[in-house]
Amino acid sequence: MRKIDLSLDPEGPDTPPRGETSQHGRAGRAPNGDGPRQDTDKSPVLGWFAVAFGVLGVFTWSVIFVPLALICGVIALFVGQVFWGVSAIVLAVIATATSPFLLMTLGLGAMAAFMHMGAPAM
């Protein structure tokens, strides 16, 4: 059975940089043909942004920064930046727990569901 790479990296681990091919004409192989090429620059920029949004969500406008931290954190997990993604998601949860507005919104939704105050049943 063939291994399927699950990654949001558009170029993937086996593709060469744009406009380049290996000496053997096979895309994505190292110049000596021994294996997949190695990327030299793997800075976790997305993870940095995710954690920054999480910290900003704790101390500033959580309504804006908590969803950004969650989205960037989940994408960072898919890209392979596990530490940064989990850190951002934890910070987003903390920011939600310390935000009066988000707690009120979640509480009103829970109260409406508990008291069956939603849309009328069909």
Residue 32 lies in a domain: no
pLDDT in tens, 34-88: 555 555 557 888 889 999 999 999 888 888 999 999 999 999 999 888 999 999 9
pLDDT in tens, 74-121: 999 998 889 999 999 999 999 988 888 888 888 888 888 888 776 666
Better pLDDT: 61 or 29: 61
Task: Reduce the DSSP state of residue 97 to 3 states and report it.
Answer: helix
The parent domain of residue 93 ranges over 45-107
Residue 89 lies in a domain: yes
Closest Cα to residue 88, out of 57, 61, 42?
A: 57
Q: How many domains does the chain contain in total? A: 1
Residue 28 lies in a domain: no
What DSSP line would sit under 13-62, residue for residue? TTSPSTT---TTS-TTB-TTSSSB---S----HHHHHHHHHHHHHHHS-H
Q: Are 118 and 112 contacting, i.e. CB atoms less than 8 angstroms apart?
A: yes
